[in-house]
Every structure is written in structure tokens, then in C-alpha cells.
Amino acid sequence: MAGEEGFVVTPYEVRGRIDYDRLRELFGTQELSPAILDRLRQMAGGDLSPLLTRGVYYTHRDLPALLDLYEKGTPFFLYSGRGPSGPLHTSHLVQFEMCRWIQSKFHVPMYIQITDDEKVWARGRLTREQTAQWGIENLVDLLALGFDRRNTHVFFDTKSIRAMYPLAVDVAKRISYSTVKAVFGFEPSTNIGLVFYTALQTVPCFYPSWKTGRSVPCLIPCGIDQDPHFRVSRDIAEGLGYPKPALLHSKMLPGLLGERTMSTTGESKDNALYLNDSPAEIDRKIRNAFTGGRATVEEQRRLGANPEICSIWALWKTGFAKDDKEFEEVTRDCRSGALLCGECKERIQSRVHSFFSVHEKAKETVRSWAEELIIQEAAAQV
């Protein structure tokens, strides 16, 4: 969207220095206000995820209406997804950590979509076998975050298509070619798989309502780059008799090499900490990571550093700080010049290592049951 703004944000391209206030205006999303955050904290029993308190999630669509319904006894379900184009990196986990937190506080069902088809259509060099393999591996990583096994369901596109297809037919009928062309910026050379694909990303939004014949509200925590898909879903929802999905949008996270986001296609492997990196690779990447530090130690002691542009600070912020107190200390000491980049990097290295080893253990147990959560049954005839 909007090349003339100096940045582009679509599901298939994220480029330039994103002005998030401007993006909110362009997309027409609502600010996640202190009043909404207070309400969420109250409803969650007094606790609020650091991803909300620290502004990683920053806008929404229709969240208050969804919370109203919840309070009146109509629970929602969570939906988010992953395009399995390779190993996950730590920023990919942020969106699912948000979901995990909401599930743990609101005790609602979670639907995860693994789009092994999308990544064949969107990435020329990947085969179906590769995306399917990454899909399983990514799914195990996501479930290892601690989703409630009895309340989590997976659409793995090529495996779940039998259940999804009748609803996909109804959805696709209502989406015109000119809509997808305008929303996603497709070219004449775009393959028709991708033209159809948005219908499949909409299916989980309506699936529980379609299956049960009741109106089941949907909440989608996702990166703001995915919003265009769900604008399409929202536009057709009422015509199909389903509630419009509500959304919670995060900012794109900076990569280790600086301003660019971690999830932009074709990035160097050094731009992110992948969950299959060795400890030595993690240390090397962190050592070489871009920070907001000054040219010399003397200058940094005197003037302090700039956390806002620092890729390491983004890691503290998105979960590696053990609590708000530690996060505030790191931020304060960075700004004042008391904490130098070398020391800060060493501290986070050991934090990342312990996260990775706990995560590996969790994966071992998840691996034995992950595939049982994949929806494979034929859908009810409706």
C-alpha cells in the first residue's frame, strides 16, 4: 500500500521506514488506548501481557465489541497463522505468544493456520514438500509455547482442505479479482493460486460459526502486514451471515541488522535468531547485531545510547526481559550510558540460550501429539 508514503506494507511486501501513525490512518485501524488496555487487564484478572504494556501490539479493529460479547457470555475464539517458508525466528513467536497469553487468561479455543500452499505460490523457490515439512516443524515450535492442547486446532492447508473447501467456495464467490488486485497489488504475472489464496486465509475466521450454526466471534492477533487479508474477510462477513473478525495488530519488529523488519523476504540469515541456530551462531549474530550505541565508549558514557533504534533492545522488549522491572532498568541504563552495548549483548546472550534450551525440551513432548490437532475430518454438510 501507498508507495508515495516512503514505505510499503502488504502481506507480500514490507519495505521502507514505516510511519506507524500514518499506517494506522491509511489502514483505518483503531488505537489500542489506555482505557482498552485497562479493561483487558481487569478482565484478565489484573495481569497484562508485556506485549500490550510495551506497545508491541498497537492497534485493533472491534476489540471492545468482542469484549462486550465475552462479558455477556458469548466467548470468542482466537485465530492466527504462519506461512511455513523456513525455520521460525524469535520475532515470529511474538504473535503466538500474544495468542497463548489470551488463551491462558480467557480460556478460549485457538485455531492455528499453517499455509503450506501459500508459500509455494508466493515463493518461487519452495516446493510443496519443503513447505509441508517446514509446516510441521513450525507447528511444533508454536505449540511448544504452551497452548492448551485440548483447546487448540490446526488448519494445515493441504491436509485440512477437505474440511475447509465448502466454506472456501462460498467465501471465494464473494471476492472479486479487482478487489484482490487492488488490495494485494497483484501483477498480470501473479499466479492464480495466490489470487485464490486469500479465500483460504478467511476460512478460519468463519469456520466455527459455519460448523456450529451459531455466531462465534473471532479475534485475530497478527502483524499489521496481514490486515489487508482481513479487510477482505470483514467486507464479506455480513453478506455470508457471519460476524466480522476482530483484530489486534502488532508493529513489525526490527531485524538484527537494523531498521529492516525481521520478516522481509530475502533477508540475510544474520538478520534474525532462528530457532534452529546453534549456540555459537546465536552468539555471533548477537555480537554483530545493530544497536543504538555511540561511536566510542567515552561518548556513550557521556551521551547515552538510543534504544528506540536498537535491535537488541527490541529483543528485551518482546519477551527476553524477565519482567517490567528488568525491562525498565535496561532501558534506563541504556539511555543514561551506564550500560554499554557489549555488556548488554552478553546479558541477552545467556537469556537467549536458556530460552532456547527450555524451548527444545518443550518441543520434544509436543512433537508426539502436534499432528493430532490438525483438522482432517470432512466438514458437516451445510
3-state secondary structure of 88: coil
The reply on whether position 93 binds ligand TRP by CB under 6 A is: no
Cα dihedral 137/192/248/322 (nearest 10): 30
Q: Yes or no: say if 244 and 236 are a contact pair by the CB < 8 Å rule.
A: no
Stretch of residues binding ligand TRP (CB under 6 A), selected from 14-22, 113-121, 281-289, 298-306: 113-121
- Contact characters 192-231, ligand TRP, x per CB under 6 A: ---------x------------------x-x---x-----
Distance CA 88, CA 34 (A): 32
Q: How far is the CB of 348 from ligand TRP (least distance, A)?
A: 26
Q: For ligand TRP, how many residues bind (rule: CB under 6 A)? A: 13
**Closer residue to ligand TRP, CB minimum distance, 201 or 271:** 201
Distance CA 77, CA 68 (A): 14
Q: How far is the CB of 115 from ligand TRP (least distance, A)?
A: 5
In the numeric block, which cell numbers belong to residue 217?
466471534
Q: How far is the CB of 258 from ligand TRP (least distance, A)?
A: 22
Residue 113: beta bridge partners?
81, 155
**Closer residue to ligand TRP, CB minimum distance, 40 or 114:** 114
Distance CA 361, CA 349 (A): 19
**Closer residue to ligand TRP, CB minimum distance, 133 or 350:** 133
Exactly one of 49, 80, 138, 318 binds ligand TRP (CB under 6 A); that residue is 80
**Closer residue to ligand TRP, CB minimum distance, 228 or 304:** 228
Stretch of residues binding ligand TRP (CB under 6 A), selected from 81-89, 102-110, 182-190, 279-287: 81-89
Exactly one of 118, 137, 141, 170 binds ligand TRP (CB under 6 A); that residue is 118
Q: How far is the CB of 290 from ligand TRP (least distance, A)?
A: 24
Which ranges constitute the DSSP H helices of the chain? 20-27, 34-43, 50-53, 63-71, 90-106, 116-122, 128-143, 157-173, 177-184, 192-212, 227-240, 279-288, 297-303, 311-315, 324-336, 341-367
Stretch of residues binding ligand TRP (CB under 6 A), selected from 54-62, 75-83, 180-188, 348-356: 75-83
- Contact characters 4-43, ligand TRP, x per CB under 6 A: -------x--------------------------------
Q: How far is the CB of 380 from ligand TRP (least distance, A)?
A: 22
Q: Yes or no: say if 275 and 90 are a contact pair by the CB < 8 Å rule.
A: yes
Distance CA 16, CA 6 (A): 6
Which of 107, 34, 66 lies closest to 243, judged by CA?
A: 66
What backbone phi and psi angles, to 5 degrees, belong to 198? -55, -30
What backbone phi and psi angles, to 5 degrees, belong to 93? -75, -20
The reply on whether position 83 binds ligand TRP by CB under 6 A is: yes
Distance CA 47, CA 188 (A): 49
Exactly one of 10, 59, 113, 160 binds ligand TRP (CB under 6 A); that residue is 113
Q: How far is the CB of 368 from ligand TRP (least distance, A)?
A: 25
> Which residues contribute to the site for ligand TRP (CB under 6 A)?
11, 79-83, 113, 115, 118, 201, 220, 222, 226
